[in-house]
Structure 1
Amino acid sequence: MNIPINGTFSFRECLWFLNRNFDDCMHTTGVDYVRKAILINDQPVLFEIREGKQELVVSILHGNNTAVTQKAIEDFIHEWFDLSRDLSQFYDQLSSHKDVSYMSRDFAGLRLIGIPDLFEAICWCIIGQQINLTFAYKTKRRLVEKYGGKVTYEGQDYYTFPSPEALADASPDILREMQFSGQKVVYLIGIATVFKEERMSKALLLALPDVAAQQKALTAIKGIGIWTANYTLMKTLRIPSSIPYGDAGLLNALIAHKIISDKKDLDALNEFFRYFKGWESYLVFYLWRSLAPQNG
């Protein structure tokens, strides 16, 4: 199965983001491929993506290779890699700003890699609160291996994120043994219960009239603050104006580019982002990218 690529796209840059030397259990990367398991009609499917000539070459490694499966995988990849977006206007704006103009060249083709599953995105925010990324990925792996789904292919395990039902019924004691704080245990089980009872879903959020209403709906759930709401809107709903204010990596990148003088310089931050109206989320993603060496 081949997925045509239109516009500027760099599989290498996207693969860099998916790797970054972190132990992410939700996909597996190689030098020139990524493998991921997802659920299609509640059945696990494992696929592999490699780069072709102006296309992505997708192979189904486990699961029924039907037209329905192929369409579901194609739709997922389009959403995951944000393939439908034309970045030319964003690159024009980057090129015209002296402080970040290099990004349109050095990071050309990097797409905002999303988290299509709203529940997974929110849980990931909770898991990562107030700890470093390395430890966050370790605890995430423990959670997913215990409560998620699994596909085994050629002796290697590939995981799908736990369902709300699985986490809602999780043992608080077991979660604490995984080194989740008491507060995170309460939040994770509570949020899972909200999703299990269908009081929150991606469809419900998408039906709301504007970003403010979406933020309000998310932050009404115990454990979800404005940072988590904005991160989720950025990574799952792909709201272009979403900025995760207060994010440590974002603030460090802005200071490194001399755009703000310190982490409390909100006026300078807002002035900078106004220049990129409509592309704020992409700018955040590229600023995060700037924190790592170009060679990944």
Structure 2
Amino acid sequence: MQKDLSSIQLPAPEIFSFPECLWYLDRNYDDCTQQLEPQGIIKFLQLNKLSVLIRLSIQEKHLQLEALQPMVLSPGEWQLVIAYVQEWFDLQRDISPFYQRLQHDPGLAFLVRKYWGLRLMGIPDLFECLCWSIIGQQINLTFAYRLKRRLVEACGSRLSWKGATFYAFPTPDQLLRLSKESLQSFQFSGSKAAYLIEVSRLFSSGAISKGELAKLDPAEMFKRLTAIRGVGEWTANYTLMKSMKVPTSIPFGDAGLLNAWKNIYQLAAKPTREELIRGFKPYNGWEAYLVFYLWRSLS
């Protein structure tokens, strides 16, 4: 790219289904940080000092990225957007080895046929991912998205375009403008309010960052995350899976994962941790992808 452009195209991976990825991003939940369209999605991004509203759609075998506001971006700005989208849709991973393993598994081969092209949709911003996993602890997704909307509308950045308002998840400093009492007034529990403020302080002070965490091996990442108040095993593994893209992460104890396994194998009870470990053994290095496809099977 040599000049400012209003749109660009990214080649899609060979194994890629934009509709499957959009299905996951929608699922009929009220996510205030994005707006789904019949053939695409609009999202307000804040990347370093860049604030931009983008639209993603599919054009044959390419992802079409369009800048809506501002209407043109410099080459450097587009590089920030491209990096975000590649991580969000996990575009740079070859998932054919995962498919080969599934296709040789009589119990799980149907996952390839039914959900071909689904990518492990991530949450590139580590702070957002940690906050979201804390918000979702021990409550259903509908209520979790309701709490997220209240938080985002209270302190996140917003942008207006063609009569609609678009929101970005708050930064640590923005979230710190809210008191524990304010968060509780949104129906956050006292403990979750305290955890969110603590995580915001750690990120704001630089005590934790994605760049620093990425220098560690997965075991050290897990240890660092679980040292944070309010971050237990499930929250840490979910974050490693969705933001740090650690391929071996399994959110043990996840209700959806347990129900999916129970349903597929028609078990009388939910599987034990040991049963899951045995079942996941053929998928060494692809555990996170298997979790994601098992979640998809619940629909």
TM-score normalised by L of structure 1: 0.96
Aligned to 1:275: 282
What pairs up with 1:170-181 in 2 under 5 angstroms? 170-181=178-189
CA change 1:259–1:87 in 2 (3 A) is farther
CA distance in 2, matches of 1:273, 1:259: 17
Report which stretch shifted further, 213-222 or 257-266.
Answer: 257-266
Q: Per-residue displacement from partner, 1:138-177 (whole Å, max 9, x unpaired)?
A: 1100100111111111111111111111222312221111
Runs of 4+ in 1 over 4 A off after TM superposition: none
Question: Match for 2:169: what amino acid?
Answer: F
The 5-angstrom pairing of residues 211-250 of structure 1 reads 211-250=218-257
Establish whether residue 52 from structure 1 lines up as the match of residue 59 from structure 2: yes
The yes-or-no answer on 1:66 pairing with 2:71 is: no
Inter-partner Cα distance in structure 2 for 1:277 and 1:261: 26
**Structure-2 change in CA distance of 1:259 and 1:271 (3 Å):** farther
Match of 1:131 in 2: 139
Residue 85 (structure 2) aligned to one of 77, 95, 113: 77
Are residue 164 (structure 1) and residue 172 (structure 2) matched? yes
Does structure 2 conserve the Cα–Cα contact (< 8 Å) formed by 1:260 and 1:268?
no
| CA apart distance, 1:41 | 3.1
Give the whole-Å Cα distance in 2 for the aligned partners of 1:167 and 1:267: 39
Alpha-carbon shift at residue 263 of structure 1 (Å): 2.8
Q: Partner amino acid for 2:244?
A: L
Q: Give the root-mean-square deviation of aligned CA atoms.
A: 1.2
Within 2, Cα distance between the matches of 1:122 and 1:11?
A: 26
Q: TM-score, normalised by structure 2?
A: 0.95
* Post-superposition offset of 1:265: 2.0
Q: Is the 8 A contact 1:240 1:281 kept in 2?
A: yes
Shift of 1:259: 7.2
Deviation per CA, 1:193-221: give whole Å up to 9, x if none. Answer: 1111111110111111x211111000001
1:266 aligns with 2:279: no
Identity %: 45
The total of aligned residue pairs comes to: 291
The answer (yes or no) to whether the contact 2:56–2:65 under 8 Å persists in 1 is yes
Q: SS of 1:275's equivalent?
A: helix
Gaps of 5+ in 2: 1-7
Alignment of 1:178-189 (within 5 A): 178-189=186-197
2: CA distance between counterparts of 1:252 and 1:128? 17
What is the rounded CA distance, in whole Å, between the counterparts of 2:271 and 2:79 in structure 1? 46
Q: Residues of 1 paired with 2:129 and 2:48: CA distance? A: 20
Give the Cα separation in 2 of the matches to 1:249 and 1:132: 11
1:30-81 Cα distance to aligned partner (Å, 9 max, x none): 1111011111332320000111111001110012521122111111111100
242-251 or 157-166, which moves further after superposition? 157-166
Equivalent position SS for 2:283: coil
1:97 maps to what in 2? 105
In structure 1, list runs of 5 or more residues that go unmatched.
none
Match for 1:108 among 91, 101, 116?
Answer: 116
Contact 1:259 1:272 in 2 (8 A): no
Structure 1: distance between partners of 2:266 and 2:96: 23
Q: Which residue of 2 aligns with 1:201?
A: 209
3-state SS, counterpart of residue 22 of structure 1: coil
Q: Distance in 2 between matches of 1:18 and 1:31?
A: 13
Between the aligned partners of 1:186 and 1:162, the Cα distance in structure 2 is 16
Q: Distance in 1 between matches of 2:265 and 2:273?
A: 13
Give how far 1:267 is off: 2.2
